[in-house]
Structure 1
Amino acid sequence: MSSTVSARAPQQSSTTPGAGQTPAPGRRRPRILDGWGLLIVPLVVFLLVVFVAPLVTILSRSFTDPTTGLDNYRDFFSSPVYLDVLGNTFRISGLVTLVTLLLGFPYAYLMTLAPPFWRGVMLVAVLIPFWTSLLVRTFAWVLMLGDTGVVNQGLMSLGLIDEPLQLIRNQTGVLIGMVQVMLPYAVLPMFATMRQIDRRLVQAAEGLGARPISAFWRVYAPLTVPGVAASCLLVFISSIGFYVTPALLGGPKDMMIGELIVQQLSAVLRWGFASALAVILLVVTGVLLVLVSRIVNIGKFMGGER
């Protein structure tokens, strides 16, 4: 009898785990919405409500309003006026990107050379525009760049001009206003990249006989390409959707697609055509991102893969 009990005991312990033992990993079913996984539910719901649902609505309305079909897209591509607005949008966005790069690159470089106190002052000067409303800043430019504004009155008092310059209601005013808004977005990514570059590399190049300018452009400048690419991409994509600044500082010839969308919604009430404009802008922007990704690693300079 004792031998029978001893033979059954190991069999019982092998089928039921004892104290301190855990079941086999393969027998446990994974639960996605368990524990910390529940924290992503509000985020997913928020994205579905405020992003996916409006995007689906716009996409469907572009094909169904006022009639089902491709009439809205056909109207856009068959009209030279609308195509000019699209080309004008990308042209102004490209100019804004170029000007912000030319102004922001030396500013970011000087921030890396400045002592800590002055670096903080320069950083605060870059962040100040974020503390003021975009609409307030744009109206301030209207007052400053007008015929009786501070800029024209100052130039005339210095004897540099005899009559006021036309600085608003044209492309000049649009560029000034948009560059002022987008300059922080160009400076900060470049500064974040430049401050990580080891300046001893430039000193080593100079020690090997290279001139300071040559060492800068051949050693230092190539290392800033990720920050420059991030700045250009961020500024260009953000500039495409501008509405307030071109509407207040530009003229009829400087209309961008954002202003055209608002015009179609508020004045003409062509909801389907405005939705088609938004879809076209989204598709063109996506195509540009794909083309840029063929040249540079977007995920790397946007903080993704290394």
Structure 2
Amino acid sequence: MPENPVLRRRIRGRPLSAGGYGTTASLVLVSPLILLLVSAFAYPVGRLLWNSVFTPEPTLAHYARIIAEPLYLIVLWRTFEIAFIVTALAFLLGYPVAYAMARVQGRRAILVAACVLVPLWTSVLVRSYAWIVLLQRNGIVNTVVQEMGLSKAPLQLLYTEGAVILAMTHVLLPFMVLPIYSTLRNIPDEFAKAARNLGASAPQAFLRITFPLSLPGAAAGTLITFILALGFYITPALVGGPSTLMMSTLIAQQTTELLDWPFAGALSAILLVSTLLLAALYRRALSFSKGFSNG
């Protein structure tokens, strides 16, 4: 009786799909995604960066303009500063929420998950306009403050850096919560129980067992949140003002209002290179800390 190759793979314990697709079939299946990435991302970004140097003659004048005029460096620094503050706040607020999601059961778990996921399913534009309703001069916050007698005149809450940080933290919070939650959920409860049986208190068990094991999720969440905050456009444009101008808003102004595409490409290149450099340094720091702790 001839040997069945499918049965042989099943007996050996290998998944049936391990050798089910050849190279040609795999390329055919992946080709729509590759075509979409090339046409909708790689080509536009590459063309924008190309125009920043070749306009049509090779020149670095646009990059020299960024360095020569302090305004653009100030905007770049403000962008990274706001992104760092938003990431830190998202971590401080998101870690307890992720911990609660991983530990509660039943209806409470569904309620906590809904509080995290429903805002994620809502449009960023809607959430940004909601903050405008809350923070405007006749908004809910100013009304409550005046009724409590804390201020006689409406406070300037909207179009400030604080409003931008608050709104961006709210919008990006799920991107911090979900990676941490996925890591915490995979940590067995027996680890903390064993630490408690060996004499550790609940805070000691958390700080020495649970928190170190959740650091991969925290690292992924902070990196995702930071990168998204660097390129955020809708929320800073709606709730921010001229004093809170960020790189994404500045690039949009150069393309849509001034029609200076080469200079917008130079600004995009500076932001892209800075982001990739910080991401590489962040990953290097994480790998170094792992090696140091293991040593």
Distance in 2 of aligned mates of 1:221 and 1:161: 42
Letter in structure 2 aligned against 1:207: N
What does residue 127 of structure 1 align with? 117
Q: Is 1:282–2:272 an aligned residue pair?
A: yes
Structure 1 unmatched ranges of 5 or more: 1-19, 21-31, 298-306
Distance in 1 of aligned mates of 2:198 and 2:206: 13
What does residue 25 of structure 1 align with? none
Distance in 1 of aligned mates of 2:43 and 2:231: 20
What does residue 71 of structure 2 align with? 81
Cα distance change, pair 74–133 in 1 and its aligned pair in 2 (3 A): same
| Cα displacement (A) at 1:228 | 0.6
| Cα displacement (A) at 1:155 | 2.6
Over residues 62-100 of structure 1, what are the superposed CA-to-partner deviations in whole Å (9 max), with x where a residue is unaligned? 012375300000000111110000000000000000000
Distance in 2 of aligned mates of 1:78 and 1:258: 20
Q: Is 1:138–2:128 an aligned residue pair?
A: yes
| Cα displacement (A) at 1:36 | 4.4
Matches within 5 A, 1:220-231: 220-231=210-221
Distance in 1 of aligned mates of 2:31 and 2:98: 40
Letter in structure 2 aligned against 1:154: V
For residue 265 of structure 1, the aligned residue among 255, 258, 267 is 255
Instruction: Tell me the number of residue pairs that the alignment of Structure 1 and Structure 2 aligns.
Output: 271
1:296 match: secondary structure = helix
Q: Is 1:44–2:38 an aligned residue pair?
A: no
What does residue 218 of structure 1 align with? 208
TM-score (norm 1): 0.83
Cα distance change, pair 147–35 in 1 and its aligned pair in 2 (3 A): closer
1:268 match: secondary structure = coil
1:168 match: secondary structure = coil
| Cα displacement (A) at 1:268 | 1.8
Q: Is 1:164–2:154 an aligned residue pair?
A: yes
| Cα displacement (A) at 1:153 | 0.8
What does residue 225 of structure 2 align with? 235
Residue identity (%): 40
Distance in 1 of aligned mates of 2:89 and 2:113: 19
Letter in structure 2 aligned against 1:222: P
| Cα displacement (A) at 1:56 | 1.9
1:39 match: secondary structure = helix
| Cα displacement (A) at 1:33 | 6.1
Cα distance change, pair 66–160 in 1 and its aligned pair in 2 (3 A): farther
| Cα displacement (A) at 1:207 | 1.8
Letter in structure 1 aligned against 2:125: L
Over residues 254-286 of structure 1, what are the superposed CA-to-partner deviations in whole Å (9 max), with x where a residue is unaligned? 110000001111222211000111111111111
* Contact 1:62 1:72 (C-alpha < 8 Å) held by counterparts: yes
Distance in 2 of aligned mates of 1:127 and 1:35: 36
Moved over 6 A (4+): none
What does residue 57 of structure 1 align with? 47
Distance in 2 of aligned mates of 1:45 and 1:131: 27
Q: Is 1:207–2:197 an aligned residue pair?
A: yes
1:40 match: secondary structure = helix
What does residue 16 of structure 2 align with? none
Distance in 2 of aligned mates of 1:230 and 1:60: 31
What does residue 180 of structure 1 align with? 170
Structure 2 unmatched ranges of 5 or more: 4-21, 288-295
TM-score (norm 2): 0.86
| Cα displacement (A) at 1:112 | 1.9
Cα distance change, pair 132–70 in 1 and its aligned pair in 2 (3 A): same
What does residue 80 of structure 2 align with? 90
